[in-house]
Structure 1
Amino acid sequence: MRPLAKAPLARHPGVMSRIARRFDRLRAENRAAFIPFVMAGDPSYEASLEIVRALPGAGADLIELGVCFTDPMADGPAIQLAGQRALAAGQTLRRTLDLVSAFREEDQETPIVLMGYYNPIYAYGVERFLKDAKAAGVDGLIVVDLPPEEDEELCLPARKAELDFVRLATPTTDEARLPSVVRNSSGFVYYVSVAGITGGATGEAGAVATAVSRLRSASGLPVAVGFGVKTEARAAEVARDADAVVVGSALIEALAAGLPDGEAAARDAVLDLASRLSRAIRAARQPSEAL
């Protein structure tokens, strides 16, 4: 088992972001975070709000909230279909911010990170988006198609607005590339454990552990591992080394499987799987006799 990453530096003396506070607490508890990904507006605004509101009770430590987009190049079939369902239901970036605002009426503690693509933000207007996202209660951004060379486009303005900007690293991020990847990152680093789209198989455990250690050392930030974590056993395996485990496609697939029986059944399927994944992650670092 690898040690947890050191606490990220506060942005202002004595002030820590919700994300930093949450990882601080997890570090004290010696466990990895469970970060579920769900698509805002899937299968409807109302149903997705119910799911997001219930996720902390199902064991979510942070929540990644997808922003639907017509051309999601990094996503596999499950999340592509989730985005299409959300778009068909009328979901927009503005409605996604409204969903976060509604969530914050009941929960002021659970960090929320928006994950998506730059085009909807660009169309919305960067300055307006950052102001509205901060007001809504968003804590961080993952924008998969903005490389470090474009940091002035959104990353640096987001940091100035006190929103964490979470950068992706992959198995192909070499020593020459790594410094630019982590330079302006904050909150945590998201390690894409395979060179591919969401929903694929995760990398071999030893390789993931080595990558997590390398990224922690380079960034000084917690490292979350995602893309392809689908089972309780695999989530627990990743949780022994990573600071967080991200699960998306498996939850989206559970939702889709439940939809023929109605939105309530889809919601319950997501929350049931989330609860099982959370329990596995929480137990991962316990003594074997406690498992």
Structure 2
Amino acid sequence: MTESRITRRFAETAAAGRPALVTFVTAGDPDYDTSLAILKALPGAGADVIEMGMPFSDPMADGPAIQASGLRALKAGQTMVRTLAMVRAFRETDQTTPIVLMGYYNPIYSWGPEAFLDAAKAAGVDGLIIVDLPPEADDELCLPAMARGINFIRLATPTTDDRRLPAVLTNTSGFVYYVSINGITGTASPDAVRVGGAVERIKRHTSLPVAVGFGVKTAEQAQRIGQDADGVVVGSAIVAAIKGSLDAEDRATGATVPAVEALVGELAAGVRAAKRSAA
């Protein structure tokens, strides 16, 4: 893989002596226009890397908050085509912030993997996290993505032992996403001591940055996790902030975008307080 927006951004945050803040939002939640406004507001609020969830009707790894956000987006008419349209619209004003699409293989398979990858590359997508494609299926999507210069980011979990880890890391690029808890998103808080040991173990196998997610909700948690990790991923808390700003019919209000900006600003302050040794 050649240099990408993702590798450049992690190099920049490492040189600044801090972890990257990786923020997750579901594309199209609660509607296309509001979701695009949130997307455009994230870098200014302090997000270093943006993960966009591709709404899917059967999100097996997601907790209640992200499941509900996907259903809101689908109800509002979000599609894979509209998700890539959001990326194109974002790229009209931001050519530096990395965007990673996260989700499941079914919608991509329905589109056609090669056609999807061409469209994603043209839209300005930098990376993919596809949670239900194991390394044994790299020919399906991972290798074609890498051939187009799209980073394929793999998940490692607390149950990924040293025998399995090399397979997980093969063909992984951009960064490694360490899932800090067993289970679905947003249902428990990570143990910082265990996370630190896990990050150290993964780094014995790879020179890639390691970002930690699943369960990080507060600036304090982000700061603590960020003392060991190269990146801190926050998703469910941001999605919950969106939900908390909606009206009784789950429609956006004037508080929706500011609620996200405020939380991301707090999280950004947390990761910037997690000083690390400069690269």
- Range class of TM-score, shorter chain: over 0.9
Aligned to 1:151: 138
Aligned with 1:252: secondary structure? helix
- Amino acid of the structure 1 residue aligned with 2:199: V
Tell me the equivalent position of 2:258: 268
- The question of 1:230 aligning with 2:179 is answered no
**Kept in 1: contact 2:22–2:47 (CA 8 A):** yes
Q: Given the alignment, which residue of 170, 195, 201 partners 1:208?
A: 195
Distance in structure 1 (CA, Å) of the matches to 2:220 and 2:190: 14
In the alignment, which residue of structure 2 is the partner of 1:88? Answer: 75
Any gaps of 5 or more consecutive residues in structure 2?
none
State the one-letter code of the partner of 1:129.
F
Residue identity in the other structure for 1:233: E
Equivalent residues in 2 for 1:31-110 (5 A)?
Answer: 31-110=18-97
SS in 2 for 1:142: strand
Q: How much does 1:286 deviate? A: 7.8
| CA offset digits 1:4-39 (Å, max 9, x no partner) | xxxxxxx34xxx111011111111101000011000
Does 2:14 align with 1:24?
Answer: no
Offset of 1:140 from its aligned partner?
0.1
TM-score (norm 2): 0.96
Give the TM-score normalised by the residue count of structure 1: 0.92
Residues in 2 aligned to 1:91 and 1:238: alpha-carbon distance in whole angstroms: 33
Q: Is the 8 A contact 2:156 2:168 kept in 1?
A: yes
Match 2:184 to one of 194, 197, 217: 197
Alignment correspondent of 1:244: 231
Corresponding residue SS for 2:128: strand
Q: CA RMSD in A?
A: 1.3
- Determine the C-alpha separation between the residues in 2 that align with 1:210 and 1:24: 22
Q: Secondary structure at the match of 1:79?
A: helix
**CA distances 1:234-258 after superposition (whole Å, capped 9, x unpaired):** 1110011100000000011111010
The equivalent residue for 1:219 is: 206
Within the candidate set 259, 265, 272, 1:282 is matched to 272
Q: Which runs of 4+ in 1 moved over 4 A?
A: none
Tell me which of the two structures has the higher relative contact order, counting C-alpha pairs closer than 8 angstroms and 6 or more residues apart: 2
Q: Which moved more, 1:276-285 or 1:62-71?
A: 276-285
Alpha-carbon displacement from aligned partner over 1:77-130 (angstroms, at most 9, x marks no partner): 000000000000100111100000000000000000000000000001101000
State the one-letter code of the partner of 1:282.
R
Aligned residues: 274
Question: What is the rounded CA distance, in whole Å, between the counterparts of 1:279 and 1:110 in structure 2?
Answer: 18
Aligned to 2:24, what secondary structure does the other structure show?
strand
- Counterpart of 1:117, as a letter, is Y
C-alpha displacement of 1:264: 2.7
Counterpart residue type for residue 130 of structure 2: V
